Amino acid sequence: MLMSDEEFLRLYKDQYDAALAEAKGYVDDPASLRREVDQQAAQADAARLVAPRPDQFTYRMMNYRGFVRFPERLKNYILAKNEARSEESLALPYIMDIEPVSRCNFRCIMCANPKREGKPKSDLTLDGFKAFMDQNPQFVEVKIQGLGEPLMNRDLFGMIEHAIARDTWVRTTVNGSLLHVNDNHKRLIDSGIGEVQTSFDGATKEVFEHIRAGADFDQIVKNLTALNAYVATKDRDYTRMWVLLQSNNRHQLLDFIPLAARMGFRRMSYSVVITGWGDEDRFSDLKVRPFSDEEEGRILELAKKEGVDVSVWNCTDRFTLDSPANLCCWPFGRAFIGSDLSILPCGLISHLDNVQLGNALEFREAWNSPAYRAFRKKHLEGRIPDFCRECYNLGQA
């Protein structure tokens, strides 16, 4: 939080006191939160596909413990929820993407990594990660993943454990290829991680290995089955299968659900958002239409039959210019930290070297630097940078 304590309490004291009391109540009585979460789940609308959500009990309990332990975190969170978007942001981001490694052992056809020029960025060190986290106690959630395969960084588990020790929710996305090495499938779960997502973009060996070049379909199926068998011995779901729909696999729409069930997944999410990584024309041939109502009904029916909780990440409308509230949220409340500790506006342009906004170990100073303020001003005035235009529906301006 970049607002003084005195000013914050003048504006938000009652809200802060109530939120802190609520957090302490749940931390002292976790069973009450469990009852509330279970009741909300029972009342959820099962007739439509919804956006994916983390395990609500574990996620919220982690949040509440962090709010009690770090009062600055709660103050910053309240400020972020109330602050109007402007060039200067007095609230620091409470969610952050941190890239442990930009190297990858796959060359997926829809990824920016194979298109990059020059050498990959250096791997993030554990010391660098710890320093960044310790300087930013306001983080409620971090995603430890970027353009590379996280398990290629041998310090990944130390990073996860350090964040968890600070009561920060952690998720990552892996490609599944290294889960059998050194018991990684067990070490990931035992690290205390909130959620492990795995990208799985083909329901058959032929389609999978075409999309995810360099992959071994059979080995990955074996690895993910072992991962979920280990999760089955635990007290909750940790894993989610993530399917990026594209022209190469759209015909397999319904095949992914029984495949997920066979591998032991109890949660699966479709994404219908293919991006050009800052280039509107790139990968246009891979983009596909959203679900029809008929398809959605068939998905829900099959998901119920197979016992898989299916959700969809469908951001085809993206952002508009009609109101500051409808602008992209990243310039105002989130950022991407590259494995070399560079600050970038978001993960979709994390491969670009000409849009860096400073060094992560000076994040608080960089967040309202002239460069960041100018970046926000462009969005507020509708002068969307070229590398951001793909995410906007500019026809609604």
What is the pLDDT, as a whole number, of residue 353? 77
- CB burial readout 317-353, b (16+ within 10 A) else e: eebbbeeeebbbebbbbbbbbbbbbbbbbbbbbbbbe
Calpha distance 172→174 (Å, rounded): 7
Structure tokens at 330: 């990243």
- The CA-CA-CA angle for residues 225, 229, 234, to 5°, reads 145
156: helix, strand or coil: helix
What is the pLDDT, as a whole number, of residue 397? 42
List of E strands, 139-193: 141-144, 169-174
Paired sense of beta strands 212-213 and 267-271, if any: unpaired
| Low-confidence residues in the chain, pLDDT < 50 | 396-397
What residues contact residue 294 under an 8 Å CB cut-off, 6+ apart?
Answer: none
98 phi and psi angles, rounded to 5 deg:
-125, 125
What is the pLDDT, as a whole number, of residue 1? 82
Rounded alpha-carbon distances, angstroms, from residue 4 to 18, 145, 262, 334: 20, 33, 54, 21
What residues contact residue 39 under an 8 Å CB cut-off, 6+ apart?
Answer: none
Q: Give residue-wise pLDDT tens across range 185-220.
A: 999 999 999 999 999 999 999 999 999 999 999 999
Calpha distance 242→63 (Å, rounded): 24
Structure tokens at 96: 């952050």
103: helix, strand or coil: coil
Query: Which of the 8 DSSP states describes residue 123?
Result: P
Residue with tokens 């070229």: 386
What residue type is 272 in one-letter code?
V
For residue 28, give the H/E element and its range: helix 5-28
Calpha distance 178→181 (Å, rounded): 5
Paired sense of beta strands 195-199 and 169-174, if any: parallel
Paired sense of beta strands 195-199 and 239-244, if any: parallel
Q: Which of left, alpha, beta for 289 (phi over 0: left; psi -120 to 50: alpha)?
A: beta
What is the pLDDT, as a whole number, of residue 207? 98
243: helix, strand or coil: strand
Paired sense of beta strands 267-271 and 309-313, if any: parallel
Q: Are 169 and 140 in contact (CB under 8 A)?
A: yes
Residue-averaged pLDDT of the chain: 93
Q: Are 390 and 274 in contact (CB under 8 A)?
A: no
What residue type is 312 in one-letter code?
V
Q: What is the C-alpha R_g of the chain? A: 21
Paired sense of beta strands 169-174 and 107-108, if any: unpaired
Q: Are 190 and 158 in contact (CB under 8 A)?
A: no
Look at residues 262, 174, 243, 258 and name the one whose alpha carbon lies nearest to residue 202: 243
pTM for the whole thing?
0.94
What is the pLDDT, as a whole number, of residue 350? 82
Calpha distance 270→253 (Å, rounded): 9
Look at residues 217, 221, 294 and name the one whose alpha carbon lies nearest to residue 261: 221
